[in-house]
C-alpha cells in the first residue's frame, strides 16, 4: 500500500514530466542511446534526487514508501520519452527481490544505494521474475561453506554493461533461486545486437564468480514480484503509445495535402479515433492493474494479465499505424516514430507473450 498522498503523487509526476520535457528531448535520447552507458547519467541522478528511484522502497530503507500505482506513474512518464534508463530492472525487479528475499544486511546495504542512484542492477537468467528468460543458459551454482559461486554463460541480461550487480535467476525442476553477483566478479560480457537500440542486452561469461544467494524464494513472493514488474511494464507501454499518438496527431494537423490538413480527411479521422480507443483502453488497464496490486485484490492477477496483453498489443498497433499515417518519412531511422515502433517490438516477449497473458486472463475469468 502506498504511503504517498494523492497530492504528493501528482506533484511528483508533474515535476518529473516537466523535467523530462525540458531535459529529455529526441536529441538527448539519441545521444544517450549512442553512448557506452546507454542512458543519460545526469537524468538518472536527477531521478534519484526527486525520490523516484526509491519510489517503492520503504522509508526506513531510504525510499519514499510508494506502491504499484506510484511506480506505474513514473513508468508512464519514462515511456512517453522512451527513456532508456534501467528503472525496471533496478528499481522494480531487483528492488522487489531484495526487499522480499534478501537478508537484513543485504537490504540495509543495497536498498538505500538504489534509492540514491548509486547502484544499477541488471537482471537475467531464468525464472518467473526475469524479464527475458534465457531458456538455453548453461549456468550452474555450487556452494562452499557459506559462499556460492556461479559458472557458465547466460544471455539476455539487461543493462549488464554498466551494472554494479547482476541479479541472476535459476529455475531447476520448477524451483526458483536467485543470486546477486558483483559485476567485478563476472569474467566477461558481450553485448547482443537487438532491434531496439535502447535495449541493452548482454551475454555474461562467469567462472567461479562469487554470489550472494537470496533467502528461500516462495511462489507467492515471486508471483508478486512478477505481477508488479508486468504492471510497471504495461504502464511504460501505455505512456509510450500515448506519446507517439500525440506526435502523430500533431503531424496530421500540420501536414497539408490538396490545400487542407490531412487530419481532416474522413479516412484518417476514423483511423485516429480507433487509435485513441486503443490508447485510452491500455492506459485504463495499466492503472487498474496497479490499483489492484496496491489494494491486495484477489483479482490482481487477472487485472495484471489484462494489462499485459492489452498494452503489448495496443502499443504495437498504435506505433505501427503511426508510421503509416506519417507516410514514408517515418520508415527512416531518423524519425522518432521508428524508435517507438522498435520499443513496441522489443517489449513483446518481456515477461511472456501477449497470447500467454491472454490465455491466463481467460482462465481466470472461467474460474471466477
Residue 57 phi, psi dihedral angles, 5° rounding: -90, 140
Q: What is the location of CATH 1.20.140.10 in the chain? A: 220-367
In this prediction the pTM is 0.94
CB atoms near residue 325 (< 10 Å): 21
Give the chain's count of helices (H) and strands (E).
Answer: 12, 9
- For residue 231, which of 283, 277, 177, 280 has the smallest C-alpha distance? 283
Q: Are strands 121-125 and 165-172 parallel, antiparallel or unpaired?
A: parallel
d(CA 142, CA 134): 20
Residue 172 phi, psi dihedral angles, 5° rounding: -125, 125
Q: 272: which 3 cell numbers?
A: 485516429
d(CA 223, CA 210): 27
SS3 296: coil
SS3 179: strand
Helix pair 6-23, 68-80: axis angle to 10 deg: 20
Sign of CA dihedral 359, 360, 365, 368: positive
Q: What is the location of CATH 1.10.540.10 in the chain? A: 6-115
d(CA 63, CA 113): 10
Residue 124 phi, psi dihedral angles, 5° rounding: -175, -175
CATH superfamily label, 6-115:
Acyl-CoA dehydrogenase/oxidase, N-terminal domain (1.10.540.10)
* pLDDT values of the chain reduced to their tens digit, one per residue, 368 residues: 667 888 888 899 999 999 999 999 989 999 988 888 889 999 999 999 999 999 999 999 999 999 999 999 999 999 999 999 999 999 999 999 999 999 999 999 999 999 999 999 999 999 899 999 998 889 888 887 778 999 999 999 999 988 999 999 998 777 889 999 998 877 788 988 888 888 889 999 999 899 999 988 899 999 999 999 999 999 999 999 999 999 988 887 876 666 676 555 667 788 889 989 999 999 999 999 999 999 999 999 999 999 999 999 999 999 999 988 877 676 777 788 889 999 999 999 999 999 999 999 999 888 76
Q: What is the location of CATH 2.40.110.10 in the chain? A: 121-217
Considering the domain delimited by 121-217, tell me its CATH architecture. Beta Barrel (2.40)
Q: Please state which CATH number belongs to domain 220-367.
A: 1.20.140.10
List all residues 6 or more positions away from 203 whose beta carbon is below 8 Å from its beta carbon.
Answer: 153, 154, 155, 156, 157, 189, 190, 192
Amino acid at each position: 500500500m502506498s504511503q504517498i498522498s494523492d497530492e504528493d503523487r501528482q506533484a511528483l509526476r508533474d515535476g518529473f514530466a516537466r523535467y523530462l520535457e525540458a531535459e529529455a528531448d529526441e536529441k538527448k535520447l539519441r545521444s544517450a542511446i549512442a553512448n557506452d552507458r546507454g542512458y543519460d547519467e545526469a537524468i538518472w541522478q536527477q531521478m534519484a534526487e526527486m525520490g523516484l528511484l526509491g519510489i517503492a522502497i520503504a522509508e526506513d530503507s531510504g525510499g519514499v514508501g510508494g506502491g504499484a500505482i506510484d511506480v506505474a506513474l513514473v513508468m508512464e512518464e519514462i515511456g512517453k520519452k522512451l527513456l532508456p534508463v534501467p528503472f525496471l530492472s533496478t528499481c522494480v525487479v531487483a528492488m522487489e527481490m531484495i526487499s522480499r528475499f534478501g537478508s537484513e544486511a543485504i537490504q540495509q546495504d543495497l536498498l538505500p544505494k538504489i534509492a540514491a542512484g548509486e547502484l544499477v542492477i541488471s537482471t537475467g537468467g531464468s525464472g518467473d521474475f526475469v524479464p527475458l528468460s534465457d531458456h538455453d543458459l548453461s549456468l550452474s551454482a555450487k556452494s562452499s561453506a557459506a559462499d556460492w559461486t556461479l559458472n557458465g554463460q547466460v544471455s539476455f541480461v539487461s543493462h549488464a554493461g554498466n551494472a554494479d550487480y547482476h541479479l541472476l535467476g535459476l529455475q531447476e525442476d520448477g524451483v526458483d533461486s536467485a543470486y546477486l553477483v558483483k559485476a567485478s566478479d563476472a569474467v566477461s560480457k558481450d553485448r547482443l545486437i537487438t532491434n531496439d537500440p535502447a535495449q541493452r542486452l548482454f551475454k555474461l561469461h562467469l567462472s567461479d564468480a562469487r554470489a550472494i544467494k537470496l533467502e528461500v524464494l516462495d511462489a507467492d513472493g515471486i508471483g508478486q514480484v512478477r505481477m508488479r514488474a508486468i504492471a510497471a511494464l504495461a504502464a511504460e507501454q501505455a505512456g509510450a503509445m500515448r506519446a507517439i499518438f500525440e506526435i502523430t496527431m500533431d503531424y496530421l494537423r500540420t501536414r497539408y495535402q490538396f490545400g487542407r490538413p490531412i487530419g481532416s480527411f474522413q479516412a484518417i479521422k476514423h483511423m485516429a479515433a480507433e487509435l485513441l480507443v486503443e490508447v485510452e483502453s491500455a492506459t485504463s488497464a495499466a492503472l487498474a492493474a496497479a490499483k489492484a496490486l496496491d489494494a491486495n485484490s484477489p483479482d490482481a492477477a487477472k487485472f495484471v494479465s489484462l494489462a499485459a496483453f492489452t498494452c503489448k498489443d495496443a502499443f504495437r498497433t498504435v506505433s505501427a499505424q503511426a508510421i503509416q499515417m506519417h507516410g514514408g518519412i517515418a520508415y527512416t531511422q531518423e524519425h522518432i516514430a521508428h524508435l517507438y515502433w522498435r520499443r513496441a517490438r522489443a517489449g513483446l516477449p518481456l515477461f511472456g507473450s501477449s497470447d500467454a497473458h491472454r490465455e491466463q486472463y481467460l482462465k481466470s475469468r472461467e474460474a471466477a
